[in-house]
Amino acid sequence: MTDRSPEYQKGLQFLARKGMKPLTQDIVTAESPFLSIAFNAKELCARCGSCTGVCPTGAIWVGEDFYPELDPEKCVACGLCKEVCPGGNVQYADLAEQVFGQRFIDKGFDGWVESSYVGYSTDETIRKGGAGGGVVTGLLYHLLKTGQVDGCLVTRMNHEKPWLGEPFIATSYEELCESQGSRYSIIPINALWAELRERPGKFAAAILPCQTHAFRKLQREDPELAAKITIIIGLYCGGSLEPDLTTEMLLVRGLKRSDITNFKFRGGDWPGQMQAVLKDGRVKPLHYSNYKDGAYNYFTSLYMPERCQTCLDGSNEFADISVSDAWTRDENGEYKFKEHSRLLIRTSTGTKLVESAIEANDLIVHDVTSDPSYKTHKMQTRRKGSLVPIRVARWKRAGRKVPVYDRQVPDDVTTKERITERLSSAMLRAGKFKPFRILFMGFLTSKLAVPLINIRMYLKKRKYKKRSAAKAKIS
């Protein structure tokens, strides 16, 4: 084996320093059992980039559609990519014990919560540029300017291919502002771990639930590398979207990829709208209404990857702080806190960060820990907490590959929930066919969909008024 590549020899030295040995001396194949799930069950790959980031020899890289690819000649069979992979196995009790010091499987959709706030960044540029008051960027900038970290793992749209997202390490205010705004497409941010191996300093990461699961596994498997990331700001997630979304949306709106310099998932005034920034500087809306009430809500039924369809964690249960939009409405159906985000503080690390940001006047918050309307996110609870466990159990019975969880389907599943899951899955299956996607997206982004949006909003406001009337009657 001494005639292998320099990367392979470097990998052997890495294993020796850690007291590890290769799991095989043979040339690795894609079927090798010690590789991450992507190489033997692609449908379970979360495309989080963790296998790329943890590989000590560069044998794995991000390939087409952000799936990992392998150079067998460089692989030293260390097994690290499998151990940190969140795609095929997530044991909630193990993660809870690791992060919170208590072993439990399920605390409800929100998970373990020390305290809850709604708030916004005091920096006007950050607040206006963020999806929900700029809280995530505001916290990251506070860490950066106070010297608590040297950089932040974040995302942006690719400069050369602005229809695709990419991860990068922001080290300045300007770079953090470039990272602002939500990007709902798949972006393998954990691939940046490989860069961290070569960079000194401490870092923060703003990542999705599956990426957080992988990081917690990294803490067990390679604590030296994991120690470089000192805090996780977790983003809520209802499911990422396939990279095809942006190019197909441009197509139905009569635009070419070469026409744009940026793609915004939530551009303009809060709550934002999907927009294309053209080369002449004009901003073109890509659908009617806004992000929350318009076409985007339906895109998750067309473009959600298969692994996202079986994910149980929507609130980033093992982050230090989890952040989502503050969607809660009053009895008239109006938002209680516009341009705010909700913060769930989970760990002492998260508590210290928020307290530090408040003291420095970088963050304004309202404590909503005791407010029952901020205990959960109803739509996400229904999707992730109710429908996904049913889907996982049903697919498993049918012989399909599904993640291994220690959470089970609740005993009190209703017939309505089972029917809803079936309908949701049918729509997701239909979304795999491009002609159907294009046709449906064309409708959703056209004026023809405006009456549908108006009806939806009318029904939603009527629901809040009925709920308010019922409460008044009881009191």
One domain for residues 20 and 163? no
Q: How many domains does the chain have?
A: 2
Q: Which of 88, 120, 138 is the last residue of a domain?
A: 88
Lowest mean pLDDT among 96-105, 193-202, 336-345: 336-345
The residues, ordered by sequence, that sit 6+ positions from 197 with a Cβ below 8 Å of its Cβ are: 56, 225
One domain for residues 313 and 383? yes
One domain for residues 74 and 134? no
pLDDT, tens digit, for every residue of 342-391? 999 999 999 999 999 999 999 999 999 988 877 766 666 767 778 899 99
One domain for residues 82 and 161? no
In a domain, 162, yes or no: yes
State the pLDDT confidence band at 304, using cuts at 50, 70 and 90.
Answer: very high
In a domain, 1, yes or no: no
Higher-confidence residue of 74 and 384: namely 74
Looking at the predicted structure, is the pLDDT value of residue 3 above 70? no
The pTM of this model reads 0.93
CA dihedral over 351, 357, 361, 364, signed as positive or negative:
negative
Q: Which of 88, 111, 136 is the last residue of a domain?
A: 88
State the pLDDT confidence band at 471, using cuts at 50, 70 and 90.
Answer: low
One domain for residues 33 and 100? no
One domain for residues 24 and 148? no
DSSP-derived 3-state class of residue 203: strand
pLDDT of residue 250: 96
> What's the CATH code of the domain at 61?
3.30.70.20
Range of the domain at 165: 90-398+408-475
One domain for residues 341 and 383? yes
C-alpha 242/C-alpha 196 separation (Å) is: 27
One domain for residues 37 and 122? no
C-alpha 305/C-alpha 167 separation (Å) is: 19
In a domain, 391, yes or no: yes
Q: Are 249 and 274 in contact (CB under 8 A)?
A: yes
Task: Name the nearest CA neighbour of 179 among 230, 222, 139, 219.
Answer: 139
pLDDT, tens digit, for every residue of 231-285? 999 999 988 999 999 999 999 999 999 999 999 999 988 888 899 999 999 999 9
One domain for residues 81 and 113? no
Question: At which residue do the structure tokens 């290769």 appear?
Answer: 22
pLDDT of residue 6: 83
Higher-confidence residue of 380 and 304: namely 304
The whole-number average pLDDT for the span 445-458 is 82
One domain for residues 108 and 212? yes
One domain for residues 213 and 126? yes
In a domain, 457, yes or no: yes
Q: Are 226 and 192 in contact (CB under 8 A)?
A: no
